[in-house]
Amino acid sequence: MDGVEVDLGSLSCADVRPILQGETKQEQEERILRAVEFLVQGLFTLPEQSSERKSQRELPEPFSVIPRAKPIPKEKPLTKWEQFARIRGIRKRKRDKFAWDETRGEFRPIHGYRSINDESDQVILPHDPSLQPGESPFDRVKEGKRNRVKNNRKSQERNKRSIAKDQLSSRPVRTDKYKSKDLEKSAKIASISTRSLGKYGDRNKPRQKLSSIKASHKKNIIPSGAERERTFQAVNDVLKNF
Amino acid sequence: MSIVEQIMNVTSPTSEKQRPPKSRKGKKHLESIAPQWEEPPKGLLVINGHQTSQQVKNVLADLSRLKKPHCRQLRKKNNILPFETGGEASLEFLCKKNDCSHFILGNHTKKRPHNLILGRLYDFHLLDMFELGVVDYKGLDEFEMAKQLKSQLKPLVCFVGDFDSDDTTRKLKNLFLDLFHDFEDRQLSLEQLDNVFVISLYHDRTISFQNFMIRLKKSDTYLPRVALEEAGPCIRFSLRRSRLAADDLWKQATKRPKQGKSKKNVTMQPILGRQVGRIHVGRQKLDKLIIKKQRALKSKEFE
């Protein structure tokens, strides 16, 4: 229709022709009616969603550009476990928080304080043959818990640090400071690496520590003059045949 | 503060130091006001200026009734003059406190009688605002139909007049659409069609705001005929001062999030963590295959 623009996505229509000075109220109302009718009929012609709900329509994407209220959220960097889970295809399952405790006859949390299998709450523990004489099994349980908490805190810190490192690396960094050190390290790794990543190597050989390896790349470096000579020699050999 | 926290603060979108929450309730609150991919409808903050006329008060009350439930009305006077230098600071503060991105401020002075300032914010920084003077006003209560207005329905918005000829009016049109449209849900039930807001621009740059109820009537075809009944309020504005958004801020605000389309036929290899794609090569044309021709297979022509 001439002069009427309709945007079904934002449920709006516009009669873009200017309102002239001599236009009566009735003429204006007719224009409004025409534009609104056009929009409503457009909405009725949208495809039906399902036969059950005949009046339901899905709106198309709007043409009108409306500014956002808040900036687009940034994606959170993955933690080490999340990265691993993605590679392995491990999905997060929702588990119940509470379970029925038959001995106590009530619902109790599965993990944490006052939980069903609270280790510190046990009166009798199964015999552990690895216990030293005189060592308390209850103390060992407590210590195990303490260690797990400590390790968890450690991995949290590590995740935080790696996120910070990622964000730092996007900034310009003076690379010349780190270059030689990194080269040294990769040369060390390369000197003990095999092509099959150790798959067909000697499995009984103990794993070497990086600090114990001495860099051997220095003796392989050829002075630039010699390399130039060698290249010319090769080129001459090839060209001789032509 | 550790280096990690420092970096987190610098890169956070609101770029203001946010104390980490101490309680679970506080954490929930911060999550509820955090930026989202798909945004909920923007709230409207209705503010009374240092001095208001009864007419302005009525207009504000009517508009907040139309905007329900995404509206918050402040009851006390607020001496805010957003067009003065530095005047927008307290406005931004109030909007952030109430988590509203639209505001309407009413005041009444000798120089600018029955004054309304309508505007919006991006990331709680002023984006654009327009000053409108109320020339003529007929309230919601004066219309019989107004009693039938329901809230929480999807209103239509209709513009009449040449809004697009001028940058100011174009942005004003955008603001009115922003104020009254509902992008939240892409589903529409046709029974929800209830009313339409009509905004018209006249030749003398005055603007009228009307509200009509939609009545659908049977016709010969499956498409209905539409009848409109005025339901108020009917307000006539004159356009006064305006402040438009800077280009870069506007560009930033209208950025749309990239939507990750679900990739077809792409899977993750479980152990190696590689992406593997399955592609369709199409049917091979074996009869047109160029192969080495063998003499023995050639059909001999007999003489």
Q: Residue B11 — very low, low, confident or very high, per pLDDT cuts 50/70/90?
A: very low
Q: Residue B92 — very low, low, confident or very high, per pLDDT cuts 50/70/90?
A: very high
Strand pairing partners for A58? B187
- Token look-up 């060698």 returns A230
- Sort strands B44-48 and B225-230 into parallel, antiparallel or unpaired: unpaired
- Judging by beta carbons within 10 Å of its beta carbon (0-12, 13-18, 19+), is residue B66 exposed, middle or buried? buried
Q: Residue A88 — very low, low, confident or very high, per pLDDT cuts 50/70/90?
A: confident
Q: Which helix (H) or strand (E) holds B266?
A: strand B266-268
Check: CB of residue B179 under 8 Å from CB of residue B102: yes
Whether the predicted pLDDT of B28 surpasses 60: yes
- Token look-up 């450690």 returns A154
Write down the ipTM of this complex. Answer: 0.78
Instruction: Tell me what pLDDT residue B171 has.
Output: 95
Instruction: Tell me what pLDDT residue B221 has.
Output: 86
Q: Residue A198 — very low, low, confident or very high, per pLDDT cuts 50/70/90?
A: low
Q: Residue B54 — very low, low, confident or very high, per pLDDT cuts 50/70/90?
A: very high
**Total beta-carbon pairs less than 8 A apart between chain A and chain B:** 191
Question: What CATH number does residue B98 fall under?
Answer: 3.40.50.10480
Collect all residues of chain B within an 8 Å Cβ-Cβ radius of residue A86: 268, 273
Collect all residues of chain B within an 8 Å Cβ-Cβ radius of residue A91: none
Question: What distance in Å separates the CA atoms of residue B99 and residue B222, rounded to the nearest whole number?
Answer: 44
Q: What angle do CA B80, B81, B86 make, to 5 degrees?
A: 95
Whether the predicted pLDDT of B225 surpasses 80: yes
Collect all residues of chain B within an 8 Å Cβ-Cβ radius of residue A65: 174, 254
Question: What distance in Å separates the CA atoms of residue B151 and residue B68, rounded to the nearest whole number?
Answer: 6
Tell me the per-residue pLDDT of B228-266, one tens digit each, with 9 for 90 and over: 999 879 999 999 999 999 999 999 999 887 766 666 777
DSSP type of residue A48: B
Whether the predicted pLDDT of A203 surpasses 70: no
Instruction: Tell me what pLDDT residue B1 has.
Output: 41
Q: Which of A49, A38, A41 is nearest to B223 (CA)?
A: A41
Instruction: Tell me what pLDDT residue A159 has.
Output: 86
A65 contacts chain B (CB < 8 A) = yes
Tell me the per-residue pLDDT of B287-298, one tens digit each, with 9 for 90 and over: 887 777 777 766
Question: What distance in Å separates the CA atoms of residue B40 and residue A224, rounded to the nearest whole number?
Answer: 66
Question: What distance in Å separates the CA atoms of residue A35 and residue A14, rounded to the nearest whole number?
Answer: 7
A29 contacts chain B (CB < 8 A) = yes
Check: CB of residue B70 under 8 Å from CB of residue B98: no
Mean pLDDT confidence for A225-239: 87
Number of structural domains found in chain B: 1
- Cβ within 8 Å, pair A168-B174: no
Q: Residue B13 — very low, low, confident or very high, per pLDDT cuts 50/70/90?
A: very low
Instruction: Tell me what pLDDT residue B81 has.
Output: 93
Instruction: Tell me what pLDDT residue B122 has.
Output: 94
Instruction: Tell me what pLDDT residue B261 has.
Output: 63
Question: What distance in Å separates the CA atoms of residue B91 and residue B80, rounded to the nearest whole number?
Answer: 7
Instruction: Tell me what pLDDT residue A76 has.
Output: 79
Q: State what percent of residues in chain B have pLDDT above 70.
A: 87
B6 vs B174, residue with greater confidence: B174
Question: What distance in Å separates the CA atoms of residue B67 and residue A92, rounded to the nearest whole number?
Answer: 40
- Cβ within 8 Å, pair A29-B268: no
Question: What distance in Å separates the CA atoms of residue A229 and residue A156, rounded to the nearest whole number?
Answer: 56
Collect all residues of chain A within an 8 Å Cβ-Cβ radius of residue B98: none
Whether the predicted pLDDT of A175 surpasses 60: no
- Token look-up 């295809």 returns A89
Instruction: Give phi and psi for A231, each to the nearest 5.
Output: -65, -45
Question: What distance in Å separates the CA atoms of residue B292 and residue B301, rounded to the nearest whole number?
Answer: 20
A110 contacts chain B (CB < 8 A) = no
B203 within a domain of the structure (yes/no) = yes
Residue B88 neighbours by CB under 8 Å, 6+ apart: B82, B126
B102 vs A114, residue with greater confidence: B102
> Which range among A7-11, A84-88, B100-104 shows the weakest confidence by mean pLDDT?
A84-88
Instruction: Tell me what pLDDT residue B7 has.
Output: 42
Structure tokens at A50: 């399902």
Tell me the per-residue pLDDT of A135-152, one tens digit each, with 9 for 90 and over: 898 999 899 999 999 999
| CA gyration radius, chain B | 29
Structure tokens at B272: 């190696």
Collect all residues of chain B within an 8 Å Cβ-Cβ radius of residue A70: 13-14, 34-36, 39, 101, 122-123
Whether the predicted pLDDT of B2 surpasses 50: no
Structure tokens at A52: 């059950």
A15 contacts chain B (CB < 8 A) = yes
Give the residue numbers spanning the domain of B92.
Answer: 41-246
Task: For chain B, give percent helix, strand, coil, nearest 5.
Answer: 30, 30, 40
- Judging by beta carbons within 10 Å of its beta carbon (0-12, 13-18, 19+), is residue B300 exposed, middle or buried? exposed
Residue in A closest to B101 by C-alpha: A69
Q: Residue A49 — very low, low, confident or very high, per pLDDT cuts 50/70/90?
A: confident
Structure tokens at B249: 């801020």
Instruction: Tell me what pLDDT residue B5 has.
Output: 44
B265 within a domain of the structure (yes/no) = no
**Terminal CA-CA length for chain A:** 78
Mean pLDDT confidence for B45-68: 93
Mean pLDDT confidence for B143-157: 81
* CA of B188 vs chain A CAs: smallest distance (Å): 5
- Cβ within 8 Å, pair B254-A73: no
* CA of A197 vs chain B CAs: smallest distance (Å): 14
Instruction: Tell me what pLDDT residue A129 has.
Output: 87
**Terminal CA-CA length for chain B:** 100
Instruction: Tell me what pLDDT residue B8 has.
Output: 42
Mean pLDDT confidence for A54-78: 87
A242 vs B23, residue with greater confidence: B23
B170 contacts chain A (CB < 8 A) = no
Instruction: Tell me what pLDDT residue A229 has.
Output: 87
Question: What distance in Å separates the CA atoms of residue B293 and residue A234, rounded to the nearest whole number?
Answer: 42
B271 vs B8, residue with greater confidence: B271
B157-185 burial, b at 16+ Cβ within 10 Å, e below that, comes to: bbbbbbbeeeeebebbbbbbbbbbbbbee
The CA-based diameter of chain B, rounded to the nearest angstrom, is 116
B51 within a domain of the structure (yes/no) = yes
Whether the predicted pLDDT of A171 surpasses 60: no
Q: How many CB atoms lie within 10 A of CB A187?
A: 15
Mean pLDDT confidence for B102-130: 95
B78 contacts chain A (CB < 8 A) = no
B270 → closest Cβ in A62, A66, A88: A88
Whether the predicted pLDDT of A86 surpasses 90: no
